Amino acid sequence: MKGPEDDAGLTGKVAIVSGGGAAGDGIGNGRAAAILLARAGTRVVVADLDLKLAERTVDMIKAEGGHAAAHAGDMTKEAECKRLVDAAVDRWGRLDFLDNNIGIGSRGSVVDEKPDEYRRVMQVNVETMFLLSKHAIPAMIKTAKGGSIVNISSISALRPRGLTTYTASKAAVIGLTQAMAVDHGKDHIRVNCICPGPMYTPMVNRGNGMSEAARAARAKASVLKIEGTGWDIGHGVRFLLSNHARYITGHVLVIDGGVTLQGPERDSAT
């Protein structure tokens, strides 16, 4: 006999994945989530500051027979967030899911950090999630009678190690997630959070790239002694958005290979 847990509830639904682009054919957390949702039958609006990066994700989805559309916008601006939500609803008539995946890094203590950089990190890492959710939630209620949101935080929120502003922003994401879960449970909207560990993604490998020795050291930091990738986060997003997680809200899912079970290493790129 089948129960409700047998239906993933992703087919025919509509999702927004912010920060869904990635350099080249690399697999970042957002791109992985977008591809995996599309494989499950979800129609995906892939949003990124750089339209070309979003379009590459869409091309990868369409090559597999999925449905997706690219959208460019600066999600630190409320008008752009509203435009993104409106674009999803105008295109497919509804909005069911939001993957808040935008974020930037920062290093240093409160003494080292410049106030303008602190404000910028908080704006990009927290305010974008606030603004997108502010417009996505009414659309979910109106068009789908509920929905599901995943916010991407970091294990830096749980284990500070010399990335103070980044840690503060990612801790705020957890607080925002849990408050939203309480506020909107009555609206049949679940809100959860993922804390990635040291995943190997195009963002981590930007600039001059990461040496094989550095990659090996990051893999060794996990209890499993293997390297995490964007696919690991994408699978977590798809699970939390699906009906398989129908009784989960306000949860912080750590996906780190057990890194947080061991002692911290300061200034490790995570």
Residues identified as active-site: 166
Output phi, psi for 108, to 5 deg.
110, 165
Strand order in the sheet with 43-48: 68-72, 43-48, 14-18, 97-100, 147-152, 189-196, 252-255
Residue 241 amino acid letter: L
Output phi, psi for 71, to 5 deg.
-145, 130
- Nearest 5°: the CA angle 21, 24, 28 is 45
| Cα–Cα distance, 240 to 266 (Å, whole number) | 30
Please tell me the chain's helix, strand, coil percentages from 3-state DSSP, rounded to the nearest 5: 45, 15, 35
**152 forms bridges with which residues in the sheet?**
194
Q: Identify which of 174, 191, 204 has the alpha carbon closest to the alpha carbon of residue 270.
A: 204
Q: Are 166 and 113 in contact (CB under 8 A)?
A: no
| Cα–Cα distance, 227 to 112 (Å, whole number) | 31
Cα-based torsion angle of the residue sequence 110, 114, 117, 119 in order, rounded to the nearest 10 degrees:
70
| Cα–Cα distance, 25 to 27 (Å, whole number) | 7
